[in-house]
Structure 1
Protein backbone atom coordinates (compact mmCIF):
# COMPACT_ATOMS: atom_id res chain seq x y z
CA UNK A 1 0.00 0.00 0.00
CA UNK A 2 1.25 3.50 -0.78
CA UNK A 3 2.46 4.97 2.50
CA UNK A 4 1.65 8.60 1.65
CA UNK A 5 -2.10 7.99 1.98
CA UNK A 6 -4.03 7.54 5.15
CA UNK A 7 -5.58 4.13 5.70
CA UNK A 8 -9.21 4.26 6.93
CA UNK A 9 -8.69 0.87 8.54
CA UNK A 10 -5.91 2.28 10.74
CA UNK A 11 -6.81 5.92 11.34
CA UNK A 12 -9.62 5.40 13.84
CA UNK A 13 -8.20 4.48 17.23
CA UNK A 14 -11.40 2.65 18.16
CA UNK A 15 -10.97 0.06 15.40
CA UNK A 16 -9.09 -3.13 16.19
CA UNK A 17 -5.77 -3.94 14.58
CA UNK A 18 -5.69 -7.11 12.48
CA UNK A 19 -2.96 -9.25 11.02
CA UNK A 20 -2.33 -9.17 7.31
CA UNK A 21 -1.91 -11.56 4.40
CA UNK A 22 -1.34 -11.14 0.67
CA UNK A 23 -3.72 -10.26 -2.16
CA UNK A 24 -2.69 -9.94 -5.80
CA UNK A 25 -4.62 -9.12 -8.95
CA UNK A 26 -4.17 -9.40 -12.69
CA UNK A 27 -6.71 -6.55 -13.02
CA UNK A 28 -5.64 -3.79 -10.65
CA UNK A 29 -2.35 -2.74 -9.05
CA UNK A 30 -1.61 -1.03 -5.77
CA UNK A 31 -1.31 2.73 -6.27
CA UNK A 32 -2.01 2.50 -10.02
CA UNK A 33 -4.98 3.86 -12.03
CA UNK A 34 -7.87 1.48 -12.56
CA UNK A 35 -8.25 0.35 -16.20
CA UNK A 36 -11.33 1.46 -18.12
CA UNK A 37 -12.89 -2.04 -18.03
CA UNK A 38 -13.19 -1.79 -14.23
CA UNK A 39 -14.66 1.72 -14.25
CA UNK A 40 -18.33 2.57 -14.47
CA UNK A 41 -20.17 3.08 -17.76
CA UNK A 42 -20.18 6.82 -16.94
CA UNK A 43 -16.42 6.77 -17.51
CA UNK A 44 -16.49 4.45 -20.52
CA UNK A 45 -16.14 1.22 -18.54
CA UNK A 46 -18.18 -1.91 -17.94
CA UNK A 47 -18.11 -2.19 -14.11
CA UNK A 48 -16.23 -5.50 -14.30
CA UNK A 49 -14.98 -6.49 -10.85
CA UNK A 50 -11.25 -7.16 -10.60
CA UNK A 51 -9.62 -10.59 -10.47
CA UNK A 52 -8.26 -11.28 -6.97
CA UNK A 53 -6.08 -14.04 -5.50
CA UNK A 54 -5.11 -14.28 -1.83
CA UNK A 55 -2.53 -16.31 0.07
CA UNK A 56 -0.94 -16.48 3.51
CA UNK A 57 -4.17 -16.09 5.50
CA UNK A 58 -4.48 -17.57 9.01
CA UNK A 59 -4.88 -21.37 9.18
CA UNK A 60 -8.05 -21.03 11.26
CA UNK A 61 -9.85 -18.97 8.57
CA UNK A 62 -13.37 -20.34 8.05
CA UNK A 63 -14.61 -17.96 5.32
CA UNK A 64 -13.74 -14.75 3.49
CA UNK A 65 -15.38 -11.44 2.69
CA UNK A 66 -14.35 -9.02 -0.07
CA UNK A 67 -15.12 -5.31 0.00
CA UNK A 68 -14.27 -2.37 -2.25
CA UNK A 69 -14.60 1.03 -0.59
CA UNK A 70 -13.78 4.58 -1.77
CA UNK A 71 -13.13 6.77 1.30
CA UNK A 72 -12.47 9.77 -0.97
CA UNK A 73 -15.99 10.00 -2.43
CA UNK A 74 -17.49 13.46 -1.88
CA UNK A 75 -19.75 12.21 0.91
CA UNK A 76 -19.27 12.08 4.66
CA UNK A 77 -19.40 8.28 4.58
CA UNK A 78 -17.40 7.25 1.52
CA UNK A 79 -18.82 4.96 -1.18
CA UNK A 80 -19.17 1.16 -1.12
CA UNK A 81 -18.57 -0.35 -4.57
CA UNK A 82 -18.78 -4.02 -3.60
CA UNK A 83 -19.45 -6.19 -0.55
CA UNK A 84 -19.41 -10.00 -0.61
CA UNK A 85 -19.26 -12.37 2.35
CA UNK A 86 -19.57 -16.06 3.27
CA UNK A 87 -17.03 -16.97 0.61
CA UNK A 88 -15.97 -20.53 1.56
CA UNK A 89 -12.48 -20.89 3.06
CA UNK A 90 -11.58 -23.28 0.22
CA UNK A 91 -11.91 -20.40 -2.29
CA UNK A 92 -8.72 -18.34 -2.64
CA UNK A 93 -9.47 -16.33 -5.76
CA UNK A 94 -12.26 -14.61 -7.65
CA UNK A 95 -12.26 -14.28 -11.42
CA UNK A 96 -12.82 -10.99 -13.21
CA UNK A 97 -16.51 -10.13 -13.22
CA UNK A 98 -17.32 -12.34 -10.21
CA UNK A 99 -19.26 -9.27 -9.07
CA UNK A 100 -21.67 -9.38 -12.02
CA UNK A 101 -25.27 -8.46 -11.23
CA UNK A 102 -26.85 -10.99 -8.89
CA UNK A 103 -23.57 -12.76 -8.08
CA UNK A 104 -23.54 -15.19 -11.00
CA UNK A 105 -19.73 -15.33 -10.86
CA UNK A 106 -19.46 -15.99 -7.14
CA UNK A 107 -18.87 -19.38 -5.48
CA UNK A 108 -21.81 -21.25 -3.97
CA UNK A 109 -22.75 -19.87 -0.56
CA UNK A 110 -21.31 -16.39 -1.11
CA UNK A 111 -23.67 -13.48 -0.47
CA UNK A 112 -23.43 -10.12 -2.22
CA UNK A 113 -24.99 -7.05 -0.60
CA UNK A 114 -26.37 -4.04 -2.41
CA UNK A 115 -23.76 -1.38 -3.16
CA UNK A 116 -24.30 2.39 -2.87
CA UNK A 117 -26.27 2.35 -6.14
CA UNK A 118 -28.67 -0.24 -4.69
CA UNK A 119 -27.39 -2.99 -7.00
CA UNK A 120 -26.28 -6.48 -6.02
CA UNK A 121 -23.17 -6.07 -8.14
CA UNK A 122 -19.76 -4.50 -8.30
CA UNK A 123 -19.93 -0.93 -9.52
CA UNK A 124 -16.85 0.50 -11.17
CA UNK A 125 -14.93 3.62 -10.25
CA UNK A 126 -16.43 6.94 -11.31
CA UNK A 127 -14.79 9.74 -9.37
CA UNK A 128 -16.44 13.08 -10.17
CA UNK A 129 -14.46 15.75 -12.00
CA UNK A 130 -12.66 18.04 -9.60
CA UNK A 131 -12.46 15.58 -6.70
CA UNK A 132 -8.89 14.48 -7.31
CA UNK A 133 -7.51 10.98 -7.08
CA UNK A 134 -9.66 8.46 -5.24
CA UNK A 135 -8.42 5.31 -3.51
CA UNK A 136 -10.35 2.06 -3.88
CA UNK A 137 -9.58 -0.09 -0.84
CA UNK A 138 -10.00 -3.60 -2.19
CA UNK A 139 -9.92 -5.78 0.90
CA UNK A 140 -10.10 -9.53 1.48
CA UNK A 141 -11.09 -10.28 5.07
CA UNK A 142 -10.19 -13.67 6.62
CA UNK A 143 -13.17 -14.52 8.86
CA UNK A 144 -13.33 -16.77 11.94
CA UNK A 145 -16.80 -18.22 11.21
CA UNK A 146 -18.21 -20.22 8.29
CA UNK A 147 -21.13 -17.87 7.89
CA UNK A 148 -21.80 -14.32 9.03
CA UNK A 149 -25.37 -13.68 10.10
CA UNK A 150 -25.94 -10.46 8.15
CA UNK A 151 -29.55 -9.68 7.15
CA UNK A 152 -30.39 -9.85 3.45
CA UNK A 153 -31.16 -6.13 3.13
CA UNK A 154 -28.20 -4.95 5.22
CA UNK A 155 -25.80 -2.28 4.03
CA UNK A 156 -22.08 -2.86 3.57
CA UNK A 157 -21.59 -0.82 6.76
CA UNK A 158 -23.51 -3.50 8.70
CA UNK A 159 -21.24 -6.11 7.13
CA UNK A 160 -18.27 -4.00 8.28
CA UNK A 161 -19.67 -3.95 11.82
CA UNK A 162 -19.87 -7.76 11.81
CA UNK A 163 -16.41 -8.08 10.27
CA UNK A 164 -15.00 -5.99 13.11
CA UNK A 165 -15.82 -8.83 15.50
CA UNK A 166 -14.97 -11.77 13.20
CA UNK A 167 -11.93 -10.73 11.14
CA UNK A 168 -8.69 -12.60 11.75
CA UNK A 169 -6.59 -10.70 9.19
CA UNK A 170 -6.92 -8.48 6.11
CA UNK A 171 -5.27 -8.34 2.71
CA UNK A 172 -5.44 -4.92 1.05
CA UNK A 173 -4.69 -3.62 -2.43
CA UNK A 174 -5.45 0.03 -3.25
CA UNK A 175 -5.80 0.98 -6.93
CA UNK A 176 -6.70 4.57 -7.75
CA UNK A 177 -8.85 6.57 -10.15
CA UNK A 178 -9.49 10.17 -11.06
CA UNK A 179 -11.85 11.66 -13.61
CA UNK A 180 -8.81 13.00 -15.44
CA UNK A 181 -7.22 9.57 -16.02
CA UNK A 182 -10.50 8.13 -17.39
CA UNK A 183 -10.12 9.78 -20.77
Structure 2
Protein backbone atom coordinates (compact mmCIF):
# COMPACT_ATOMS: atom_id res chain seq x y z
CA UNK A 1 0.00 0.00 0.00
CA UNK A 2 1.49 3.36 -1.00
CA UNK A 3 1.62 6.38 1.30
CA UNK A 4 -1.05 7.96 -0.92
CA UNK A 5 -3.47 5.10 -0.14
CA UNK A 6 -2.80 4.97 3.59
CA UNK A 7 -5.82 5.85 5.72
CA UNK A 8 -4.50 6.44 9.25
CA UNK A 9 -6.57 6.28 12.43
CA UNK A 10 -10.16 6.16 11.37
CA UNK A 11 -13.60 5.38 12.66
CA UNK A 12 -14.43 1.79 13.50
CA UNK A 13 -18.15 2.23 12.74
CA UNK A 14 -19.78 1.12 9.50
CA UNK A 15 -21.04 3.67 7.03
CA UNK A 16 -24.80 4.23 6.90
CA UNK A 17 -25.18 2.43 3.56
CA UNK A 18 -23.72 -0.77 5.05
CA UNK A 19 -26.37 -0.78 7.75
CA UNK A 20 -29.40 -0.41 5.45
CA UNK A 21 -30.83 -3.39 3.53
CA UNK A 22 -32.91 -2.23 0.54
CA UNK A 23 -36.09 -3.92 -0.64
CA UNK A 24 -34.68 -4.33 -4.19
CA UNK A 25 -31.27 -5.49 -5.36
CA UNK A 26 -31.32 -2.70 -7.94
CA UNK A 27 -28.36 -0.41 -7.42
CA UNK A 28 -28.35 3.34 -7.92
CA UNK A 29 -25.49 4.84 -9.94
CA UNK A 30 -24.27 8.08 -8.35
CA UNK A 31 -22.04 10.57 -10.22
CA UNK A 32 -20.80 14.13 -9.90
CA UNK A 33 -19.15 16.50 -12.34
CA UNK A 34 -17.23 17.82 -9.29
CA UNK A 35 -15.24 14.59 -9.09
CA UNK A 36 -12.03 14.48 -11.14
CA UNK A 37 -11.10 11.35 -13.13
CA UNK A 38 -8.66 10.37 -10.32
CA UNK A 39 -11.56 10.42 -7.82
CA UNK A 40 -10.58 13.66 -6.08
CA UNK A 41 -13.31 16.16 -5.22
CA UNK A 42 -12.66 19.64 -6.61
CA UNK A 43 -11.22 22.19 -4.17
CA UNK A 44 -14.21 24.55 -4.24
CA UNK A 45 -16.28 21.92 -2.41
CA UNK A 46 -13.85 21.60 0.50
CA UNK A 47 -14.02 23.58 3.74
CA UNK A 48 -10.46 24.69 2.96
CA UNK A 49 -11.87 26.65 0.00
CA UNK A 50 -15.47 27.72 -0.93
CA UNK A 51 -17.29 24.96 1.02
CA UNK A 52 -20.16 24.65 -1.46
CA UNK A 53 -22.11 21.44 -1.98
CA UNK A 54 -21.17 19.54 -5.13
CA UNK A 55 -23.65 18.75 -7.91
CA UNK A 56 -24.92 15.16 -7.80
CA UNK A 57 -26.74 12.94 -10.29
CA UNK A 58 -28.21 9.49 -9.76
CA UNK A 59 -30.20 6.90 -11.67
CA UNK A 60 -33.89 6.45 -11.03
CA UNK A 61 -35.66 3.36 -9.67
CA UNK A 62 -39.34 2.35 -9.87
CA UNK A 63 -41.85 3.57 -7.26
CA UNK A 64 -39.53 5.99 -5.49
CA UNK A 65 -41.43 8.62 -3.46
CA UNK A 66 -38.42 10.46 -2.00
CA UNK A 67 -34.62 10.42 -1.87
CA UNK A 68 -32.16 10.74 0.99
CA UNK A 69 -28.43 11.43 0.78
CA UNK A 70 -25.80 11.02 3.49
CA UNK A 71 -22.13 11.90 2.96
CA UNK A 72 -19.68 10.40 5.45
CA UNK A 73 -15.91 10.29 5.96
CA UNK A 74 -14.86 7.02 7.67
CA UNK A 75 -11.22 8.20 7.77
CA UNK A 76 -11.90 10.99 10.27
CA UNK A 77 -9.85 10.47 13.46
CA UNK A 78 -12.88 9.89 15.69
CA UNK A 79 -15.10 7.04 16.86
CA UNK A 80 -17.88 7.51 14.26
CA UNK A 81 -17.63 8.50 10.59
CA UNK A 82 -17.77 12.29 10.20
CA UNK A 83 -21.11 13.46 8.75
CA UNK A 84 -20.60 15.95 5.92
CA UNK A 85 -24.19 16.09 4.71
CA UNK A 86 -27.62 14.67 5.48
CA UNK A 87 -30.48 15.65 3.16
CA UNK A 88 -33.80 13.85 2.77
CA UNK A 89 -37.33 14.22 1.38
CA UNK A 90 -35.98 15.13 -2.03
CA UNK A 91 -39.04 14.50 -4.23
CA UNK A 92 -39.10 11.21 -6.14
CA UNK A 93 -39.06 12.75 -9.63
CA UNK A 94 -35.76 14.53 -8.87
CA UNK A 95 -32.57 12.69 -9.90
CA UNK A 96 -30.01 15.46 -9.51
CA UNK A 97 -28.97 18.24 -7.15
CA UNK A 98 -27.30 21.42 -8.37
CA UNK A 99 -24.08 22.77 -6.94
CA UNK A 100 -24.26 25.14 -3.98
CA UNK A 101 -27.45 24.35 -2.06
CA UNK A 102 -28.23 26.75 0.78
CA UNK A 103 -27.11 25.58 4.23
CA UNK A 104 -30.62 25.76 5.69
CA UNK A 105 -32.53 23.10 7.59
CA UNK A 106 -35.56 23.31 5.29
CA UNK A 107 -35.00 24.08 1.63
CA UNK A 108 -37.14 25.96 -0.86
CA UNK A 109 -35.30 24.18 -3.67
CA UNK A 110 -35.41 21.30 -3.99
CA UNK A 111 -38.91 21.75 -2.66
CA UNK A 112 -39.70 19.98 0.66
CA UNK A 113 -36.10 18.77 1.17
CA UNK A 114 -34.76 18.76 4.73
CA UNK A 115 -31.08 19.03 5.66
CA UNK A 116 -29.84 17.66 8.96
CA UNK A 117 -26.87 18.77 11.00
CA UNK A 118 -23.39 17.97 9.79
CA UNK A 119 -20.47 16.99 12.02
CA UNK A 120 -19.68 20.67 12.71
CA UNK A 121 -23.22 21.30 14.03
CA UNK A 122 -24.56 23.36 11.13
CA UNK A 123 -27.29 22.41 8.66
CA UNK A 124 -26.43 21.33 5.15
CA UNK A 125 -23.08 20.68 3.51
CA UNK A 126 -19.77 20.87 5.32
CA UNK A 127 -17.01 20.09 2.85
CA UNK A 128 -13.93 17.95 3.31
CA UNK A 129 -11.36 19.31 5.75
CA UNK A 130 -9.09 16.41 6.67
CA UNK A 131 -6.33 17.28 9.14
CA UNK A 132 -3.05 18.34 7.54
CA UNK A 133 -0.68 15.39 7.22
CA UNK A 134 -3.50 12.85 7.74
CA UNK A 135 -3.36 11.53 4.19
CA UNK A 136 -6.12 10.99 1.67
CA UNK A 137 -9.65 10.76 3.11
CA UNK A 138 -12.57 8.98 1.43
CA UNK A 139 -16.00 10.62 1.17
CA UNK A 140 -18.97 8.34 0.56
CA UNK A 141 -21.96 9.97 -1.16
CA UNK A 142 -24.73 7.52 -0.26
CA UNK A 143 -28.09 7.82 -2.04
CA UNK A 144 -31.21 6.06 -0.81
CA UNK A 145 -34.45 5.61 -2.83
CA UNK A 146 -37.38 5.68 -0.38
CA UNK A 147 -40.93 4.33 -0.60
CA UNK A 148 -42.19 7.27 1.52
CA UNK A 149 -41.05 10.60 2.91
CA UNK A 150 -39.47 10.84 6.35
CA UNK A 151 -41.53 12.93 8.81
CA UNK A 152 -38.51 14.29 10.68
CA UNK A 153 -37.14 17.80 11.00
CA UNK A 154 -33.67 19.26 10.47
CA UNK A 155 -32.49 18.56 14.03
CA UNK A 156 -33.00 14.79 13.63
CA UNK A 157 -29.88 12.92 14.82
CA UNK A 158 -28.11 10.60 12.38
CA UNK A 159 -29.10 7.42 14.28
CA UNK A 160 -32.82 8.32 14.03
CA UNK A 161 -32.47 9.07 10.32
CA UNK A 162 -30.69 5.72 9.92
CA UNK A 163 -33.66 3.92 11.52
CA UNK A 164 -36.07 5.73 9.18
CA UNK A 165 -33.93 4.70 6.20
CA UNK A 166 -33.99 1.07 7.31
CA UNK A 167 -37.80 1.12 7.21
CA UNK A 168 -38.16 2.90 3.83
CA UNK A 169 -35.24 2.10 1.49
CA UNK A 170 -36.15 0.57 -1.87
CA UNK A 171 -32.66 0.79 -3.38
CA UNK A 172 -29.31 2.37 -2.60
CA UNK A 173 -26.09 3.42 -4.28
CA UNK A 174 -22.91 5.31 -3.57
CA UNK A 175 -20.04 7.26 -5.04
CA UNK A 176 -16.70 7.53 -3.28
CA UNK A 177 -14.61 10.68 -3.73
CA UNK A 178 -11.28 11.55 -2.13
CA UNK A 179 -9.66 14.66 -0.72
CA UNK A 180 -6.42 15.50 1.08
CA UNK A 181 -5.49 18.62 3.03
CA UNK A 182 -3.64 21.20 0.94
CA UNK A 183 0.09 21.33 1.61
CA UNK A 184 -0.01 25.13 1.98
CA UNK A 185 -2.66 26.97 3.99
The TM-score range, normalised by the shorter chain, is: 0.7 to 0.9
* Structure 2 alignment gaps of length 5 or more: 1-6, 8-13
- Out of 129, 149, 152, the residue aligned to residue 150 of structure 1 is 152
Match of 1:51 in 2: 55
Alignment of 1:72-87 (within 5 A): 72-87=75-90
- CA offset digits 1:70-113 (Å, max 9, x no partner): 11100010100110000100111100012x22165731111111
Q: Is the 8 A contact 1:23 1:54 kept in 2?
A: yes
* Structure 1 alignment gaps of length 5 or more: none
Alignment of 1:20-169 (within 5 A): 20-29=27-36, 32-40=39-47, 43=48, 45-55=49-59, 57-98=60-101, 100-102=102-104, 104=107, 106-145=109-148, 147-169=149-171
Taking only aligned residues, the RMSD between alpha carbons, in angstroms, comes to 2.7
Q: Is the 8 A contact 1:115 1:155 kept in 2?
A: no
- 2:183 is aligned with 1:178: no
Q: Distance in 2 between matches of 1:47 and 1:154?
A: 23
Q: Distance in 1 between matches of 2:29 and 2:131?
A: 31
**1:160 is paired with a residue of what secondary structure?**
helix
Q: Distance in 2 between matches of 1:182 and 1:170?
A: 37
TM-score, structure 1 normalization: 0.82
Aligned residue pairs total 171
Cα distance change on mapping 1:176 and 1:144 into 2, 3 Å = same
Q: Distance in 1 between matches of 2:85 and 2:131?
A: 18
**2:84 is paired with a residue of what secondary structure?**
strand
TM-score, structure 2 normalization: 0.81
Q: Distance in 2 between matches of 1:139 and 1:65?
A: 8
Q: Is the 8 A contact 2:17 2:142 kept in 1?
A: no
Cα offset for 1:156?
Answer: 2.6
